[in-house]
Every structure is written in structure tokens, then in C-alpha cells.
Amino acid sequence: MRLILKWLLSAVALLAVAYVYSGVQVSSFTSALIAAAVIGLLNAVLRPVLVILTLPVSIVTLGLFLFVINALMFWSASGLLSGFHVNGFWAALLGSLIYSALGLIIDAALSKSPG
């Protein structure tokens, strides 16, 4: 149940990113649900591989390269879907930062909720 709630709230967070920042467009709530699922899958499957492969760069940049990896995951999801669009890498970077901040808030709220 918590996983479904996190997925729904992540879709709402994606809609909030699109509302706050014009570099990210989401056409509907259904598109936001699908995009949230795809971003989650990319972060679960592809992101760990990229983190390991780019470990030397991440060490040299003191971890700042992880922001680039997050932006690439965000941008990749927009390339795979038709109802979710990101206007280039810099828009993906800022959009992923906002989305990650909202994700932290969602995780904090869900960890404090009973049940």
C-alpha cells in the first residue's frame, strides 16, 4: 500500500515540477503516473550501473557528478515517453533537482505516517 501511495505522490510531484518549471511538461496525470514509474525503474536498474561506472569522476568532483546522472535519468525518461517532455539537459538538471527535493519530502512524510 505504501508503494502505491509513494507512486501516486511521485506523480503529483512530477506535475508540481511541470507547474513550477516551464522546462518540464507533463500532459496529464496518467502521463505523470507512467513517467514516475519509468523514472523509478530507471533509477532502480540503470542508475546503480552508471554510478559504479562513473565512480572515478564522482570522486574527483566530490559527488557532484551524481547530479548529472540524476539529470540523465530524468531526461532519458522523457525520451522514452510521449506525454512527458524535458527541454534539454539543463532543464533536466533543474527538473531532477526539484523532483528529488519533492521526493525527499514525500519519503519523510511517509516514514512518519503510522502503519
pLDDT mean over 25-29 = 96
What Å distances lie between residue 91 and 18, 70, 75, 104, 106, CA to CA?
11, 12, 9, 20, 22
Name the pTM for this structure: 0.91
Rounded CA separation 15/29 (Å):
7
pLDDT mean over 36-64 = 95
pLDDT digits (tens, 9 = 90+) for 29-48: 999 999 999 999 999 999 99
Above 70 in pLDDT, residue 115?
A: no
Closest CA to 12 of 34, 33, 37, 42: 33
pLDDT mean over 85-105 = 96
Burial 86-95 (b: 16+ CB within 10 A, else e): beeeebbbbb
Q: What is the mean pLDDT of the chain?
A: 94
- Confirm if 16 and 102 have CB atoms less than 8 A apart: yes
Annotate 47-96 with three-state secondary structure. HHHHHHHCHHHHHHCCCCHHHHHHHHHHHHHHHHCCCEEECCHHHHHHHH
Cα 101 from chain centre: 10
pLDDT mean over 93-106 = 96
Percent of the chain with pLDDT over 90: 92
Task: Report pLDDT for 1.
Answer: 85
